[in-house]
């Protein structure tokens, strides 16, 4: 299958690539070492429209297609996977749930500000005892008059503390199991809501990951997203798109590692010639490039199907699983090609290796992706 992109898709990718190469790549090492959210860069991305790529123009976005959104995540992640995840979570699961399931009033109130980057979005599903088993969340939401009162704790929330809006999942009726989960738009100033401990992570330093606490948090009834009991469906259907984005993030990391490896292999001389002339290194580069190409086809095939209105539950899981495994394999080989230097922080492959790991874990571990793929296969 040849990947055919339209002129507009190529133009957007080039614009994002220029931005990533000029504004992000030179400071990516710094962002990682300081572990500070790069607010100025994210603001610039907002000004360029990068925080609202797939949002229709009528809602203040760029109005580009899903494929361009996916290539945006790839290009940004190639320069900094930390900024890539912030962008992906903000859009896929922080903004699109409101666009897809919100009322007109909710869209008017939040989407233009999210799409322009004036405010940042986040997604609060995971809890200390509910990770892979997302349906077992314990956070409760009890309706009292004009408010839902939320109690519980969320963990590993990307953009926590940065975001103004958190798409939050809580149990409104514990007798109904998965059909008793509802979604809420929670604003950061909600009484009873607070951001807790920031995680010190292996990689993706510079992206904020923290706990959220809901202690009698008062969420207005008009901030219920979708109907009561629709929360799990809202979470899962948006993850069908979100997981393609994580595949693209992994693809960007893998491509960065391959490019750095090729460059290094041509320069590094051992046994009287560049190591690129050694078959052992050539075979590694060939395997890395082949896996990257396969991951690219899976990611963009899933994106194109989603763009055309097709169901992407299975394709998104395949793309996310394969691309993230590819990122881990490719970055591991990249460190090997760089040898001792690859194990130091003087070269980028060490950061890429650390950043790759989490793509196999979040937005559903790769074991969960297999469950999703198998379930779809057996139901087809």
Give contact residues for ligand CAA (rule: CB under 6 A).
Answer: 85, 89, 123, 125-126, 132-135, 158, 178, 232-233, 236-237, 239-240, 313, 362-364, 368, 371-372
SS3 readout for the chain: CCCCCCHHHHHHHHHHHHHHHHHHHHHHHHHHHHCCCCHHHHHHHHHHCCCCCCCCHHHCCCCCCHHHHHHHHHHHHHHCHHHHHHHHHHHHHCCHHHHHHCCHHHHHHHHHHHHHCCCCEEEECCECCECCCHHHCCCEEEEECCEEEEEEEEEEEECCCCCCEEEEEEECCHHHHHHHEEEEEEECCCCCEEEEEECCCCCCCCCCEEEEEEEEEEEEHHHEECCCCCHHHHHHHHHHHHHHHHHHHHHHHHHHHHHHHHHHHHHCEECCEEHHHCHHHHHHHHHHHHHHHHHHHHHHHHHHHHHCCCCCHHHHHHHHHHHHHHHHHHHHHHHHHHHHHHHCCCCCHHHHHHHHHHHCCCCCCHHHHHHHHHHHHHHC
Given the residues 23, 75, 296, 363, select the one marked as catalytic: 363
Residue 178 or 289: the one with the smaller Cβ distance to ligand CAA is 178
CB of 35 to ligand CAA, least distance (A): 16
Residue 20 or 235: the one with the smaller Cβ distance to ligand CAA is 235
CA distance 128 to 234: 21
363 is catalytic: yes
CB of 7 to ligand CAA, least distance (A): 31
Residue 158 or 205: the one with the smaller Cβ distance to ligand CAA is 158
Residue 109 or 354: the one with the smaller Cβ distance to ligand CAA is 354
CB of 368 to ligand CAA, least distance (A): 5
Residue 120 or 285: the one with the smaller Cβ distance to ligand CAA is 120
CB of 354 to ligand CAA, least distance (A): 16
CB of 342 to ligand CAA, least distance (A): 26
Residue 67 or 250: the one with the smaller Cβ distance to ligand CAA is 250
Task: Confirm if 132 and 364 have CB atoms less than 8 A apart.
Answer: yes
Task: Say if strands 147-158 and 140-144 run parallel, antiparallel, or are unpaired.
Answer: antiparallel
CA distance 298 to 316: 8
CB of 124 to ligand CAA, least distance (A): 9
Residue 106 or 312: the one with the smaller Cβ distance to ligand CAA is 312
CB of 243 to ligand CAA, least distance (A): 8
Active site residues: 363
């Amino acid at each position: 299958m040849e990947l055919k992109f339209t002129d507009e898709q190529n133009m957007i990718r080039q614009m994002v690539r220029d931005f990533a190469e000029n504004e992000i790549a030179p400071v990516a090492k710094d962002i990682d070492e300081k572990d500070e959210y790069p607010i100025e860069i994210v603001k610039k991305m907002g000004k360029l429209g990068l925080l609202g790529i797939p949002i229709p123009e009528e809602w203040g976005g760029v109005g580009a297609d899903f494929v361009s959104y996916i290539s945006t995540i790839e290009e940004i992640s190639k320069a900094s996977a930390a900024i890539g995840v912030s962008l992906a979570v903000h859009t896929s699961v922080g903004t699109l749930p409101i666009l897809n399931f919100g009322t007109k009033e909710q869209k008017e109130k939040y989407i233009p500000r999210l799409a322009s980057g004036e405010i940042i979005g986040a997604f609060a599903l995971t809890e200390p005892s509910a990770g892979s088993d997302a349906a077992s969340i314990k956070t409760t939401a009890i309706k009292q008059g004009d408010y839902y009162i939320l109690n519980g704790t969320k963990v590993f929330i990307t953009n926590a503390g940065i975001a103004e809006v958190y798409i939050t999942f809580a149990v409104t009726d514990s007798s109904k199991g998965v059909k008793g989960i509802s979604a809420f738009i929670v604003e950061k100033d909600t009484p009873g809501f607070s951001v807790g401990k920031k995680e010190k992570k292996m990689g993706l330093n510079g992206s904020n990951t923290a706990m959220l606490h809901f202690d009698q948090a008062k969420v207005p009834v008009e901030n219920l997203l979708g109907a009561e009991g629709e929360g799990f469906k809202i979470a899962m259907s948006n993850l069908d798109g979100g997981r393609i984005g994580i595949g693209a993030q992994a693809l960007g990391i893998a491509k960065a590692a391959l490019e750095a490896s090729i460059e290094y292999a041509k320069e590094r001389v051992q046994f009287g010639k560049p190591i690129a002339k050694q078959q052992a290194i050539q075979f590694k580069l060939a395997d890395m490039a082949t896996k990257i190409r396969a991951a690219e086809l899976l990611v963009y095939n899933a994106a194109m199907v989603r763009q055309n209105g097709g169901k992407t539950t299975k394709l998104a899981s395949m793309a996310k699983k394969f691309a993230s495994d590819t990122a881990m394999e490719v970055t591991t080989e990249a460190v090997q090609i760089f040898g001792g230097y690859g194990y130091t922080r003087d070269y980028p492959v060490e950061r890429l290796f650390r950043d790759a790991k989490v793509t196999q874990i979040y937005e559903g571990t790769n074991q969960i992706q297999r469950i999703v793929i198998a379930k779809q296969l057996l139901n087809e």
